Amino acid sequence: MSKKEMLKEIKKEVLGFKESPLYRERVKKVVFPVIGEGNHDGIVMFVGEAPGAREAATGRPFCGSAGKILDQCLQEIGIERKDVYITNILKDRPPKNRDPSPEEIEVYAPFLDRQINIIQPKIIASLGRFSAEYMLKKFYLENKIRSITALHGTPVDAKAEYGVIKILPLLHPAVVVYNRGKKETLMEGFYTLKKLIEKCKK
Ligand code: URA
């Protein structure tokens, strides 16, 4: 099966994922699960927490206010959004944008794990606390878990099933929506990402 077909299969499974505690949210309003989008051969995969209102209304990750910040950061480091893959841990929106629960992370994570093994990114840039913690736990690096402000911008080596990769924990772009002063700190992390990408291309 091609990467496209394997990712399509995940989409099909998520669409029919009635066992999810968040499935009922889909029927209350017209909303869509958000699987992910971007380059299936991308060096970088961004992993956020969960879709927000705009994402659930469109089925696209990071297309609301946090997405605008993410786009600006990518533009500033000269990376095109179409060249990276963007997804979330949860594929459905938690009501009122509350934090994802441990149970929700557990039920949706297998889809993310499969996306990682299909796309095989060399760098996983986690966005926000939940995503950083999930990645560090997934790759048996629990001992590296710190506050997201301490983790932000420091790459960690990890062993994926397909080879050695870098995990780059980043602040969630939404922090800039609420606190414009955090843009500079967020950008520092993106400049580290740029350097990592350049190294991977060598
Ligand atoms: N926040 C996230 O974590 N993911 C999105 O797709 C949008 C906002």
Per-residue confidence (pLDDT) for residue 96, from 0 to 100: 87
Which residue out of 127, 130, 177 has the highest number of ligand 1 atoms within 8 Å of its CB and is therefore the one to mutate?
A: 127
CA–CA gap between residue 119 and residue 132 (Å, rounded): 19
Give the span between the Cα atoms of 98 and 66, in whole angstroms.
Answer: 15
User: Ligand 1 centroid to 175 CA: how many Å?
Assistant: 12
pLDDT at 38 (0 to 100) = 98
The model's pTM is 0.97
Lowest pLDDT segment from 23-37, 168-182, 187-201: 23-37
Which pLDDT band holds residue 43 (cuts at 50, 70, 90)?
Answer: very high
CA within 13 Å, CB half, 185: 17
Place of tokens 């909303």: 31
66 lines ligand 1 (CB under 6 A): yes
Q: Where are the domains of the chain?
A: 3-201
Confidence of residue 125 (pLDDT cuts 50, 70, 90): very high
For residues 10-39, average pLDDT: 92
Asked whether residue 161 carries a pLDDT value surpassing 90, the answer given is yes
Measured over the CA atoms of residue 31, residue 48, residue 109 and residue 161, the dihedral's sign is positive
Looking at residue 145, what is its pLDDT? 97
Token pair listed for 60: 């696209």
Mutate to test the pocket of ligand 1, among 62, 84, 85, 115 (most ligand atoms within 8 A of CB): 62
Average pLDDT of the residues of the chain = 96
88 ligand 1 Cβ < 6 A: yes
pLDDT tens track for 57-79: 999 999 999 999 999 999 999 99
Q: How far is the CA of 202 from the centre of ligand 1 (A)?
A: 31
In the numeric block, the tokens 């089925």 are attached to 59
Confidence of residue 33 (pLDDT cuts 50, 70, 90): very high
pLDDT for 24? 85
Identify the pLDDT of residue 122: 98
Looking up tokens 């414009």 gives: 180
CATH code 3.40.470.10 for 3-201: yes
> Per-residue pLDDT for 201 more than 90?
no
